[in-house]
């Protein structure tokens, strides 16, 4: 068999595998539509407060058996964005599949469908696939998929056109999912660390937003437990001292204490309170007007940087600006290809 024939055979096999993967996702979406077709009841019971899933809607058929289970959560952000989250699974004790529909303040809808570590991003109005990405230990990586429609823009072109809106939707989803963090699952936002300039060509649209377990988090950001331990110890010390005035002052002292511990180590791969002037790109002092600041940066590998945002008191992450994050990452670690955003809440 000639080399050309072998190459064509390999391409045909790859195309068939991709189509099968797409069909598998399609089957799960059909199941999801069946669940959503049932009327949603306002009196559906919630899990009791104090449990890991406290406050969430209890699934239908929780008594066991083969009936599909579903959970629904709805959230509205301060800017008017809305995130409707649906989680389903065919059997108890199996993994959940998730669908998050994000409606922006201008009405633009973007859908994030997650099955395992594969995430499909769709235009919420046309249902066209914009991207399909796989979360790996290196971050989000694009996956090929079969696009059966003819005469339409390529998905990569459509995603490039919609990239600013898709990015905003991902930010909103991350903000909501971060508020649902538990001790064993945390939301992350994996995105490319490049300049996001509207209208410019965009060559690497891979992004991924969702909750991961501790095993995946350790692979992505090996020092996350260390950062969490520092945050816990500093927050406990500030609380025990009683030397603070209200939640904001408590948060400020926790931030300063964490930065002091981390920067005292003089580890170039783990730095805190990194600030740059948004206009000039030069180093800036903490809190300087017009500056861009990130709490903690961990260079987990030459191409990936983990960005930790600390939550203290009643504060929560408010729509992180990916342009600013990417700018700081690029300034501090030139050559970084991607960043992974994580919210850390001190356990005190």
Let me know if residue 59 belongs to a domain: yes
Report pLDDT for 283. 79
Q: Say how far apart CA 33 and CA 274 lie, in whole Å.
A: 45
Let me know if residue 136 belongs to a domain: yes
Residue 265 has pLDDT above 90, yes or no: yes
Let me know if residue 94 belongs to a domain: yes
Output the CA–CA distances (angstroms, integers) from residue 303 to 101, 143, 300, 306, in the order listed. 31, 19, 8, 10
- Cβ atoms 111, 99 nearer than 8 A: yes
- 17-24 LR contacts (CB < 8 Å, sep 24+): 18/143, 18/144, 18/145, 18/146, 19/146, 21/118, 21/143, 21/145, 22/145, 22/146
Residues 6 or more apart whose CB falls under 8 angstroms from that of 51 comprise none
Residues 140 and 238 in one domain: no
Let me know if residue 167 belongs to a domain: no
Number of domains in the chain: 2
- Cβ atoms 298, 274 nearer than 8 A: no
Q: Say how far apart CA 128 and CA 118 lie, in whole Å.
A: 17
Residues 256 and 145 in one domain: no
Report pLDDT for 46. 43
Residues 292 and 148 in one domain: no
User: Could you write out the three-class secondary structure of 147-175?
Assistant: CCCCCCCCHHHHHHHHHHHHHHHHHHHHH
Reported in sequence order, the residue ranges of 215-331 that DSSP labels E, i.e. its strands, are: 270-277, 291-301, 304-310
- Cβ atoms 172, 319 nearer than 8 A: yes
Q: Which one has a higher pLDDT value, 242 or 284?
A: 242
> Which pLDDT band holds residue 55 (cuts at 50, 70, 90)?
very low
Average pLDDT of every residue of the chain? 77
Residue that finishes a domain, picked among 115, 147, 162: 162
Report pLDDT for 51. 42
Model pTM? Answer: 0.74
Report pLDDT for 14. 60
The owner of tokens 């003819």 is 150
Residue 147 has pLDDT above 70, yes or no: no
> Which pLDDT band holds residue 329 (cuts at 50, 70, 90)?
confident
Residues 10 and 152 in one domain: yes
> What pLDDT digit, counting tens, does each position of 116-140 carry?
899 999 999 888 888 899 999 888 8
Average pLDDT over every residue of 212-231: 95
Q: Cα 155 to the chain's mean position, in Å?
A: 21
Let me know if residue 319 belongs to a domain: yes
Range of the domain at 100: 3-38+49-162
Report pLDDT for 231. 94
Output the CA–CA distances (angstroms, integers) from residue 279 to 11, 170, 294, in the order listed. 47, 25, 16
Residues 139 and 278 in one domain: no
Average pLDDT over every residue of 282-294: 77
Residues 233 and 152 in one domain: no
> Residue 283 — φ and ψ, nearest 5°?
-60, 145
The span from the first CA to the last CA of the chain, in angstroms, equals 67
Let me know if residue 215 belongs to a domain: no
Which of 29-43, 149-163, 186-200, 282-296 shows the highest mean pLDDT?
282-296
Using the Cα atoms of residue 250, residue 255, residue 260 and residue 261 in order, give the sign of their dihedral.
positive
Among 223, 214, 205, smallest CA distance to 184 is for 214
Residue that finishes a domain, picked among 162, 182, 200: 162
Let me know if residue 209 belongs to a domain: no
């Amino acid at each position: 068999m000639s080399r050309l024939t072998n190459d064509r055979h390999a391409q045909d096999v790859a195309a068939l595998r991709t189509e099968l993967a797409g069909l598998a996702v399609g089957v799960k979406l059909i199941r999801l539509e069946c669940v959503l077709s049932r009327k949603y009841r306002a009196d559906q019971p919630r899990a009791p407060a104090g449990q890991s899933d406290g406050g969430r809607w209890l699934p239908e058929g929780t008594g066991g058996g083969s009936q599909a289970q579903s959970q629904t959560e709805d959230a509205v952000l301060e800017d008017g964005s809305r995130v409707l989250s649906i989680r389903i699974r065919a059997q108890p004790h199996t993994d959940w599949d998730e669908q998050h529909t994000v409606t922006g303040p201008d009405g633009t809808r973007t859908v994030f469908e997650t099955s395992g570590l594969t995430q499909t991003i769709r235009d919420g109005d046309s249902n066209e696939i914009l991207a399909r990405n796989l979360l790996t230990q290196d971050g989000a990586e694009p996956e090929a998929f079969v696009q059966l429609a003819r005469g339409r823009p390529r998905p990569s072109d459509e995603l490039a056109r919609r990239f600013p809106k898709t990015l905003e939707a991902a930010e909103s989803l991350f903000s909501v999912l971060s508020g649902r963090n538990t001790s064993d699952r945390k939301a992350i936002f994996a995105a490319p660390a490049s300049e996001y300039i509207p209208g410019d060509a965009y060559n690497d649209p891979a992004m991924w937003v969702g909750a991961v377990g501790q095993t995946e988090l350790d692979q992505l950001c090996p020092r996350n437990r260390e950062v969490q331990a520092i945050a816990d110890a500093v927050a406990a010390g500030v609380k025990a001292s009683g030397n603070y005035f209200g939640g904001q002052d408590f948060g400020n002292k926790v931030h300063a204490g964490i930065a002091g511990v981390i920067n005292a180590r003089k580890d170039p791969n783990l730095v805190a309170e990194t600030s740059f002037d948004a206009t000039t790109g030069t180093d800036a002092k903490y809190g300087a007007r017009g500056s861009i600041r990130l709490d903690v940066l961990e260079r987990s590998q030459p191409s990936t940087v983990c960005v930790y945002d600390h939550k203290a008191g009643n504060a929560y992450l408010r729509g992180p600006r990916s342009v600013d994050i990417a700018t700081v990452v690029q300034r501090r670690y030139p050559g970084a290809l991607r960043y992974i955003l994580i919210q850390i809440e001190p356990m005190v």
